[in-house]
Chains A and B, each alone.
Chain A
């Protein structure tokens, strides 16, 4: 199959992209000549980056757009936040629903910097309470990390409550890092209202931007050690990396077409409206979860309640390898899903689906009820073959 007929893997990367995103990508790749900050031809590029930064900052309630650092994805943003903030002796509170993009940088911090980690256990549906997270905070806790919504079960974590709880700790309080890989573009995010100090966002998932884009928001007062150092266009005579943002964290030539298209993608999402997007995806989720529940032999993971999760459904067929299910859906039905551990073995251990993992179905903005019915029909066919 050269391209998916029915794409239900939006939790990995959204597809298709809005026309305006593609158009902006092509425009920027065609028209913009040079690196921002490097010569007169780079001025247009610089303006495009500036506008995209302003758009993104406004979208997450950042206020000062210089505190938006463009990265190549959410993983890079998480690495910058974790590696840039933690020092030996620090303690981190996180949860058992972490993606490897959080778990692996933390493992390195444990091994190489002597950082200690408390992983608050979620229940079997992936739910973590704010009180359990806040109770794990110690005097030496420097960072609390929440996955806004799980990429395995869709379970939404209590960001606002934890943010409020941490805020009462004053200037020495732990910083709150939120991995918004599954929520930016679906759920409203206001970093200042929610007490979020660091927000990691991918461009290519629910924002419907191109791959190779993402950003990190850093609250005022946060200073991170940069991961990369080098040319920033200005302040060239400084021996070390400049301190001013965003240049401190953006050395080298950026992904100009990608960032331009990301700005167009965020504008698209704003025009569409998060309420409308959430309503659409919730309707598809309800249809999907309801339909799968009725198929004998199917077990669903997660809350199975659209009020408690985003539109990500993980399921297993009793006695079947998830890869067999995914293989049938793709080859016989032309349906793209994702099977296995979804780069989150911790989550699968938590919900009891380790090591085989699950079949994950993640509808997006461009999916229809017909797509969902086709998926349910495919699963019913598998059940029919098993029964035959």
Chain B
């Protein structure tokens, strides 16, 4: 099983669950987690994916209008935003 090192954060839980559905439809491996507090002080969910699937995931999100979204990667204990999609 690949390491799902990329965390995608959406501003609403509705968007997160919509993205989860999109991932399932596209057959992209993922795991829905509680939003890490070091990324956001908000309650809610985030999605972990394999960074090798980033292009497919980005394409699927844009196609379904599931924006905005921010992509994070942990680097030496610090979460860094590596990409922002949408507003």
The residues of A with any CB-CB pair to B shorter than 8 Å are 36-40, 42-43, 46-47, 50, 53-54, 64-66, 232-237, 242, 244-247
Contact = CB atoms under 8 A, between A and B. Distances in A.
User: Which of B13, B14, B45, B65 is packed against the most chain A CB atoms within 10 Å?
Assistant: B14
A50 B41 CA distance: 23
A64 B64 CA distance: 9
User: Which of A37, A38, A234, A246 is packed against the most chain B CB atoms within 10 Å?
Assistant: A234
16 contacts: A37-B44, A39-B43, A42-B43, A46-B17, A64-B65, A66-B12, A66-B14, A233-B13, A233-B43, A234-B13, A234-B42, A234-B43, A234-B44, A235-B42, A247-B12, A247-B14
Main secondary structure of the interface of A (DSSP, over half): loop
B11 interface: yes
Chain B interface size range: 10 to 19
Contacts, number: 56
B15 interface: yes
B51 interface: no
Contacts of B44: 37, 233-234
Nearest to A53: B14
A41 B76 CA distance: 30
B41 to A, nearest CB: 7
A75 B77 CA distance: 51
Contacts of B63: none
Interface string B4-46: 0000000111110110010000000000001000000111110
B42 A50 contact: no
A65 B65 CA distance: 12
Contact of B18 (A36, A39, A65): A65
Contact of A37 (B18, B21, B41, B43): B43
A231 to B, nearest CB: 9
Contacts of A43: 34, 45
Interface in B40-60: 41-45
Nearest to B40: A234
Contact of A236 (B14, B18, B43, B45): B43
B45 to A, nearest CB: 7
